[in-house]
């Protein structure tokens, strides 16, 4: 059986590594080095000219990072990956590898706040326009497209709405035009493989579920190897015109001897070289440790979160539960199509008592951590209206799906009885106890 056709549980432990060639070490060593000795001047010249692949300098590649990159590419069904200093760096690289000043990208409105700021402000200042469209209607991507559109961008399972993105539908709009779909899969690793639905590039904040232990900021950028960058060369000039920074290399051609890796090759040898957002080998090692148990953890996160959503739906202080299994209509159809393997660890709910109840709930939690993070092994909670979304107007908060009484939970791996116990205690403090007593 081809190694990369193994199951995710196996790939998470084995892909990209057997043992250290010099020491026989089974665990992946941390290659804490900046540079690598060249065998000869000819060897050095070949490496720099990409005639031969090998280690040159840790900003561009490192053997520890290489294992992480091979492992995530195998798990996603892609052909190559690069590791980056953060998820934010991965999102920025994903766009900068295709778009330059004067170009545009069409993105879903439903984004992580950091991505929103990157797109609406920082990329704009660099001359790259991001056009935001409502993902409810896939055709909105077609309507926002013009001849300078270089990519589509979205999150697989964006919070707070937690409605899966129509990956296949939007990928199918872009492909005939030569426009790849880039998916941020941070909230749904293993539950969704965006390449299976036609996405061309996957982005991760590995800081969240991939690491899983809340120790490490990291990002990953993965090439599906499933997109024909030359089908419409005028659409993708950065991969189809000579690159003056690399002796006039045309990346879609230069990559051919290495496989369908033009996108990720350019990201490595141009963007990592020039922008330098490299992941430290120690941090790559931390993410490798996390990924070893990712299949087990995603299953347990999904089971616990489903039980929490069902419990909250029965609670009198809760007016609405936001979880894929509790959606109706088109959102329910998308959940059924894209999340058959589990629906992830994020749960939202609204409290009848509005903002005051939301704050009281958070302050009463004893086990859940109150942090602006997701995907930790521990359960986490936040009240967006008073924290992550507090700079937005009431209307803008509503547009993003945040009501005054909205609470976001990232359900961890504790015993479900302890999770429900802490929630019940905090709901009582938020006014739920009175409601419940009255109701009983
Ligand atoms: C956290 C997050 C990011 C940014 O990742 P960092 O590792 O914090 O830079 C991007 N997208 C999503 C969906 C996230 O949750």
Alpha carbon of 50 to ligand 1 centroid (Å): 32
* pLDDT range class, residue 2, cuts 50, 70, 90: low
> Could you give the CA distance from residue 113 to residue 186 in angstroms, rounded to a whole number?
13
113-150: b or e for each residue (b if 16 or more CB lie within 10 Å)? eebbebbeeebeeeebbbbbbebeebebbbebbeeebb
More confident residue, 51 or 219: 219
What are the backbone dihedrals phi and psi of residue 34, each rounded to the nearest 5 degrees, phi first?
-90, -35
Mutate to test the pocket of ligand 1, among 84, 87, 165 (most ligand atoms within 8 A of CB): 87
53-83: b or e for each residue (b if 16 or more CB lie within 10 Å)? eebbebebbbbbbbbbbbbbbbbbbbbbbbb
Identify the residue whose C-alpha is closest to ligand 1 atom 2. 205
The predicted-structure confidence for 61-94, as pLDDT tens digits, reads as follows 999 999 999 999 999 999 999 999 999 999 999 9
Give the range among 53-67, 84-98, 421-435 with minimum mean pLDDT.
Answer: 421-435
Sign of CA dihedral 179, 184, 188, 191: positive
Identify the residue whose C-alpha is closest to ligand 1 atom 6. 87
Is the pTM value of this prediction over 0.75? yes
> Could you give the CA distance from residue 30 to residue 146 in angstroms, rounded to a whole number?
46
Pocket of ligand 1 (CB under 6 A): 86-88, 112, 114-115, 155, 184, 186-187, 205, 207-208, 217, 219, 374
> Could you give the CA distance from residue 251 to residue 21 in angstroms, rounded to a whole number?
32
The pLDDT of residue 4 is above 90 = no
State mean pLDDT over 184-205.
98
The pLDDT of residue 185 is above 80 = yes
Sign of CA dihedral 366, 369, 372, 373: negative
The pLDDT of residue 1 is above 50 = no
Atom of ligand 1 nearest to the CA of 155: 13
Atom of ligand 1 nearest to the CA of 89: 9
Alpha carbon of 89 to ligand 1 centroid (Å): 9
Alpha carbon of 184 to ligand 1 centroid (Å): 9
Alpha carbon of 420 to ligand 1 centroid (Å): 27
Alpha carbon of 339 to ligand 1 centroid (Å): 21
Atom of ligand 1 nearest to the CA of 217: 7
Q: 3-state DSSP: the chain helix, strand, coil percent, rounded to 5?
A: 45, 15, 40
CA 155 to chain centre: 7
| DSSP string across 297-350 | HHHHHHHHHHHHHHHHHT-TTEEEEE-GGG--HHHHHHHHHH-TT---SEEEEE
* ∠ CA 227-196-216, rounded to 5°: 90
Please answer whether residues 24 and 31 qualify as being in contact, where contact means their C-beta atoms are separated by less than 8 angstroms.
no
User: Which candidate, 158, 229, 167, places its Cα nearest to that of 193?
Assistant: 167
- Residue 176's pLDDT is what? 97
Identify the residue whose C-alpha is closest to ligand 1 atom 7. 87
Ordered by where they begin, the domains of the chain are 3-290 (3.40.640.10), 294-439 (3.90.1150.10)
Alpha carbon of 428 to ligand 1 centroid (Å): 32
Burial of residue 340 (number of CB atoms within 10 Å: 0-12, 13-18, 19+): exposed
> Could you give the CA distance from residue 387 to residue 233 in angstroms, rounded to a whole number?
45
Mutate to test the pocket of ligand 1, among 188, 201, 208, 210 (most ligand atoms within 8 A of CB): 208
- Residue 391's pLDDT is what? 81
DSSP H or E run through 115: helix 113-117
The pLDDT of residue 397 is above 90 = no
> Could you give the CA distance from residue 264 to residue 403 in angstroms, rounded to a whole number?
40
The pLDDT of residue 433 is above 70 = no
Alpha carbon of 113 to ligand 1 centroid (Å): 9
Mutate to test the pocket of ligand 1, among 182, 186, 187, 211 (most ligand atoms within 8 A of CB): 186
Atom of ligand 1 nearest to the CA of 207: 7
DSSP H or E run through 181: strand 181-184
> Tokens for 45?
């010249």
> Tokens for 385?
């209206």
Mutate to test the pocket of ligand 1, among 83, 90, 114 (most ligand atoms within 8 A of CB): 114
Mutate to test the pocket of ligand 1, among 92, 115, 205, 374 (most ligand atoms within 8 A of CB): 205
Strand segments (E) across 35-79: none
* pLDDT range class, residue 428, cuts 50, 70, 90: very high
Mutate to test the pocket of ligand 1, among 109, 112, 116, 372 (most ligand atoms within 8 A of CB): 112
The pLDDT of residue 434 is above 60 = no
Residues with Cβ within 8 Å of residue 416, at least 6 apart in sequence: 303, 304, 307, 308
Strand segments (E) across 15-102: 80-84
Alpha carbon of 231 to ligand 1 centroid (Å): 32
**Overall residue count recorded for the chain in this entry:** 440
Identify the residue whose C-alpha is closest to ligand 1 atom 1. 205
The pLDDT of residue 438 is above 70 = no
Share of the chain above pLDDT 90, in %: 89
Please answer whether residues 197 and 168 qualify as being in contact, where contact means their C-beta atoms are separated by less than 8 angstroms.
yes
The pLDDT of residue 394 is above 90 = no
> Could you give the CA distance from residue 324 to residue 164 in angstroms, rounded to a whole number?
8
Identify the residue whose C-alpha is closest to ligand 1 atom 5. 87
Alpha carbon of 88 to ligand 1 centroid (Å): 6
């Amino acid at each position: 059986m081809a190694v990369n056709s193994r199951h995710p549980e196996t790939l998470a432990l084995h892909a990209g590594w057997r043992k250290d060639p010099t020491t026989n070490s089974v665990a992946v060593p941390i290659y804490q080095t900046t540079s690598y000795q060249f065998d000869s001047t000819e060897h050095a010249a070949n490496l720099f000219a990409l005639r031969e692949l090998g280690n040159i300098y840790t900003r561009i590649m490192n053997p520890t990072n290489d294992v992480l990159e091979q492992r995530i590419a195998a798990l996603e069904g892609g052909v190559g990956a690069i590791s980056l200093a953060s998820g934010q760096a991965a999102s920025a690289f994903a766009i900068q590898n295709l778009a330059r000043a004067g170009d545009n990208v069409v993105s879903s409105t439903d984004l992580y706040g950091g991505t929103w700021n990157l797109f609406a402000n920082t990329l704009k200042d660099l001359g790259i326009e991001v056009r935001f469209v409502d993902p409810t209607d896939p055709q909105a991507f077609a309507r926002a497209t013009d001849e300078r559109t270089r990519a589509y961008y979205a999150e697989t399972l964006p919070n707070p709405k937690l409605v899966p993105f129509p990956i296949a539908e939007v990928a199918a709009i872009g492909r005939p035009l030569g426009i790849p779909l880039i998916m941020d899969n941070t909230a749904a690793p293993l539950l969704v493989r965006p390449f299976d639905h036609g996405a061309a590039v996957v982005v991760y904040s590995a800081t969240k579920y991939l690491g899983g232990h809340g120790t490490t900021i990291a990002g990953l950028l993965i090439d599906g190897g499933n997109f024909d960058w030359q089908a419409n060369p005028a659409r993708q000039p950065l991969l189809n015109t000579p690159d003056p920074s690399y002796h006039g290399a045309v990346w879609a051609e230069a990559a051919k001897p290495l496989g369908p890796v033009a996108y990720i090759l350019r990201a490595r040898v141009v963007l990592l070289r020039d922008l330098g957002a490299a992941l430290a080998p120690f941090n790559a090692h931390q993410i490798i440790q996390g990924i070893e148990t990712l299949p087990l953890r995603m299953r347990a996160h999904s089971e616990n979160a489903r039980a929490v959503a069902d419990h909250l739906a029965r609670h009198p202080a809760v007016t609405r539960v936001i979880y894929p299994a509790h959606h109706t209509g088109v959102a329910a159809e998308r959940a059924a199509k894209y999340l058959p393997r589990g629906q992830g660890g994020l749960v939202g709910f609204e409290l009848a008592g509005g903002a005051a109840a939301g704050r009281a709930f958070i302050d009463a939690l004893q086990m859940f951590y109150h942090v602006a993070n997701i995907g930790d092994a521990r359960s986490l909670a936040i009240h967006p209206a008073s924290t992550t979304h507090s700079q937005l107007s009431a209307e803008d908060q509503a547009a993003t799906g945040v009501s005054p009484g909205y609470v976001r939970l990232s359900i961890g791996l504790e015993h479900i009885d302890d999770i429900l116990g802490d929630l019940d205690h905090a709901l009582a403090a938020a006014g739920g106890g009175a409601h419940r007593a009255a109701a009983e």
